[in-house]
Structure 1
Amino acid sequence: MLDGVNVALGISGSIAAVKVVELAHELRRQGATVRGVMTESAQGIIHPWAVEFATENPVVTEITGQVEHVGLCGRSGWADVLLLAPATANTVGKIATAVDDTPVTTCATTALGADVPVVVVPAMHEPMYDHPGVLDAIETIESWGVTFVSPRIEEEKAKIATEDAIITAVASTVGSQPLVGQHIVVTAGATKESIDPIRVLTNRSSGRTGRAVARECHIHGAEVTLIHTGDDVHYAQTRSVESTADMRSATFEMLDTGVDALICAAAISDYTVDTAPEKIRSGKPRTLELEPTEKLLDGVRNAYPDLPMVGFKAETSGDEESMVAVAESLRDRVDLSFVVANNASVMGDAETRAIIVDDSTTVINDSKQVLGASIANKLAEKFDE
């Protein structure tokens, strides 16, 4: 996700600095090269040696005659992005008024003057975050094009955002955004059909692929609505659903507002049952009458004949030729932009084996995040045609 990206990581004196070692490791896992910059206060919380260990690069702890801030964040500097994590109220306020009396704020002043992208991840006690001056400073800095990653408000603290949210923000800031201006609806996860108030009929889908697609569409600049069977996510508006009927209803409600594309990655139940009003007692054989559910893609195509749509087709054969043939059949029947043929054996895994079937085929044997990026890029190509 961050292959080849140089990240200058500015660390200020919040207790959240204790999380910086793992953040630096995660940035590097995603392909970035990281160099640390620390305020004196930050050094009282985490030793520069720990940051040097995590980044495998020397850490800037003072600005010397080597003008480290220019070397890192100047117009011809090393950094592709300056990531301030954590950023204290003190640091945010100083950046808003161009006070550069620490290595971190000096790098920030330099980066903003040199048009180097800046991502700010605040962390402080909640009353400090709610201070009018801090809120004004955030608004000012955002007006300059700086990306803020909202904190998690818990236990009267504005806690540092999750690593996932920070990585997503950095990727969005440094990457190309060919989907800017597009509103994309993504469905994800396994729907559940109630058998009785306790039991459900469902499948093994985890929703990881659909969430990866939604995240990558966001990183590529789109406004994303995720309709799924999980919790809220930081990279999309979410609609939480359970049954096939719920997903169908939520999808049409969103489409009726006017969107630019639908990516149907959900593993929607093919069958439903009449729900028993009370728990079915165990110990006796039972027969369930399975009724076919309506096909969401067909319904959407009938209602929106010109809407760009991407379909998914999970198969168990593992045979590439058969998977492609089934995907082509679905593509042609529903007039889809393209279809992703999934090998069902990877359900729930972080890695995937999938084939993107358009006029040609692209085989993806990689992470589901890589598959998501490939789908976002392919959709952008369709919009450009």
Structure 2
Amino acid sequence: MRRTLEGKLIVLAVTGSIAAVETVRLAHELRRKGATVQAVMSHAAAGIVSPAALTYATGRDTIVDITGHVEHVIYSGDEREADLLLIAPCTANTIGKIASGIDDTPVTTFATTALGSGQRIVCVPAMHHSMYRHPAVLRNLEILKEFGIEVIPPRIEEGKAKIAAIDEIVLWSERAVLGEPLRGKKVLITSGACREPFDDVRVLTTRSTGQMGRALAYEAFRLGADVTVVHMDHFPSVRNIHVETADEMREAVQHLLDEGIDIYISAAAISDYAPVRVAGKIPSGTVRQIELNPLPKIIDLVLPDLKVITVGFKLGDDAEIAGRELLLRGASLVVCNPPSVMGSATGTFLIMGRDLEVRVNTKEEVAFEVCRRL
């Protein structure tokens, strides 16, 4: 695991939602990423989770009252020690107080100070869904966004607007503190396998799992990009466009090109062939020949547009030769790998550019090396 938060200090501010029980795990995950975590709790939160539990999880005394040490100024003032104020979970009550400038708990005192000093703030709402739908709550969330606070959408499940998943909160925290070198860039990623039907129940596909596309999407998001992924899966925090066949993927890419993109990363195992479809179900146990028609390359839609940075992928024993040809045709970077890496998180990957050759061993390392060069 990359320690993306190494050297960063995050104030984890906890309010009185039952979702506060997740904050021990959240603190541990932030620390695994390298962060120093300082917990601050409202009195309502301390009635749900013991401050001692967060002291144990963070290795630092939990702040439950503002004292003469002016903790809010130390961590969130003009000369602040902290890099981020992360309010998780954030109740409807606290959202309303921050939006209205009310300052009557340790958490809202930190928020007031952070807003005044310009410190980055990430807010993670959690409440019953009926509360989340209240017009005042929705308006207050918009006010928080106008203040520059990042709001992570909740998971709507079982009649509740549940706190976002731990991994997603960590991802937004990374985005908030890593400088956002890709801010304002529209990144399009094609990811995973395609499925080409050859009768009403069977499909032709590959062993691709979408791990590479996921790693690239998260890394681009961490660095501040506006990320769209065209695939069969769903990744949190980014825009997802669901497709199954190569033709559907091609249509989606063309539409997004027309909208305007800055970077295209062709990480999908896009079908090279489509079978001639048979109506109904081919009877089991019969010998059947399947006719395959070649499909156009989606990357060929993008390469003529010199304004779009294009990253290609080549798979196979001749990947390096094919990769160099792709560079000559206008690709900025090409990632080469043998077929054995499909479906696996590790392998031998060669990242090639016009004056670049880098070898790495994991898909996360590929994502890091590619995105830092965009």
TM-score normalised according to structure 1 size:
0.90
Do residues 116 (structure 1) and 111 (structure 2) align?
Answer: no
Aligned to 2:60: 57
Query: 2 CA distance for matches of 1:33 and 1:364?
Result: 28
Distance 2:107 2:307 in 1: 51
Looking at structure 2, the residues matched to 67 and 299 of structure 1 have their Cα atoms a distance apart, in angstroms, of 58
Question: Structure 2: how far apart are the matches of 1:173 and 1:352?
Answer: 31
Q: Return the alpha-carbon distance in structure 2 between the equivalents of residues 184 and 60 of structure 1.
A: 40
- Matched to 1:327, the amino acid is G
Work out the percentage of aligned pairs sharing the same amino acid.
44
User: What is the deviation of 1:193?
Assistant: 1.2
Specify the alignment match of 1:46 in structure 2.
49
**Alignment partners' CA distance in 2, 1:100 and 1:300:** 52
Alpha-carbon separation, structure 2, partners of 1:197 and 1:363? 43
Write out per-residue CA displacement over residues 87-134 of structure 1, whole angstroms, 9 at most, x where no aligned residue: 111111222233322221111122222221111101111222233332
Do structure 1's residue 361 and structure 2's residue 357 form an aligned pair?
yes
The answer as to whether partners of 1:214 and 1:235 remain within 8 angstroms in 2 is no
Choose which of 257, 268, 271 in structure 2 pairs with 1:269.
271
> Could you tell me the TM-score, scaled by structure 2's length?
0.92
The aligned amino acid for 2:313 is F
Alpha carbons 1:118, 1:147 under 8 Å: kept: yes
Letter in 1 for 2:367: G
Aligned-partner residue type, residue 331 of structure 1: L
Deviations 1:140-194 (A, max 9, x none): 2221111111112223221111223212221221122222222221111111111
Q: 8 Å contact 1:311–1:339 — kept in the other structure?
A: yes
CA deviations 1:26-55 (Å, max 9, x no partner) are: 212222221211111111111122212222
Alpha carbons of structure 1 residues 307 and 92: separation in structure 2 relative to 1, 3 Å: closer
Q: For 1:113-262, list aligned pairs within 5 A.
A: 113-231=116-234, 233-262=235-264
* Alpha-carbon distance between aligned partners in 1 of 2:104 and 2:272, rounded to the nearest angstrom: 62
Shift of the 199–155 alpha-carbon distance from structure 1 to 2, 3 Å rule, reads same
Structure-to-structure mapping, 1:2-41, within 5 angstroms? 2-41=5-44
Give SS of 2:373's match. helix
Sort the Cα spacing of 1:84 and 1:246 in 2 relative to 1 into closer, same or farther, 3 A: same
> Conserved in 1, the CA contact under 8 Å of 2:195 and 2:204?
yes
| Paired amino acid for 1:372 | A
1:215-364 maps to which residues of 2 (within 5 A)?
A: 215-231=218-234, 233-302=235-304, 304=305, 306-315=307-316, 317=317, 323-332=319-328, 334-351=329-346, 353-358=348-353, 359-364=355-360
Distance in 1, matches of 2:131 and 2:9, equals 31
Report how far residue 240 of structure 1 moved.
0.8
Opposite residue 176 of structure 2, the aligned amino acid is T
- Contiguous gaps of at least 5 residues in structure 2: none
In structure 2, the CA distance between the partners of 1:306 and 1:37, relative to structure 1 (3 Å rule), is closer
- Pair 1:350–1:19, CA change in 2 (3 A): farther
- 352-361 or 144-153, larger mean C-alpha shift: 352-361
One-letter identity of the residue aligned with 2:248 = D
* Structure 1: runs of 5 or more not aligned: 380-385
Cα shift readout 1:312-340 (whole Å, capped 9, x = no counterpart)? 1123x5xxxx65444223322x3211101
Deviates further, 348-357 or 260-269: 348-357
Cα distance in 2 for residues equivalent to 1:270 and 1:360: 28
Distance 2:143 2:50 in 1: 32
Deviation, 1:207, is 0.9
| CA separation of 1:370 and 1:146: change in aligned 2, threshold 3 A | farther
The code of the aligned residue for 2:129 comes to E
Q: Name the CA distance, whole Å, in 1 between partners of 2:14 and 2:76.
A: 15
Is the contact made by 2:6 and 2:34 (CA closer than 8 Å) also made in structure 1?
Answer: yes
Counterparts in 2 of 1:363 and 1:162: CA distance versus 1, 3 Å: same
Q: Following TM superposition, by how much is the alpha carbon of 1:305 offset from its aligned partner in structure 2, in angstroms?
A: 5.4
User: What is the identity, as a one-letter code, of the residue corresponding to 1:354?
Assistant: F
Please identify runs of 4+ aligned residues in structure 1 that moved more than 4 A: none
CA distance in 2: counterparts of 1:372 and 1:279, whole angstroms: 41
User: Secondary structure at the residue paired with 1:104?
Assistant: helix
Aligned partner of 2:83 among 80, 85, 108: 80
CA distance in 1, matches of 2:63, 2:282: 66
Give the secondary structure class of the aligned counterpart of 1:41.
Answer: helix
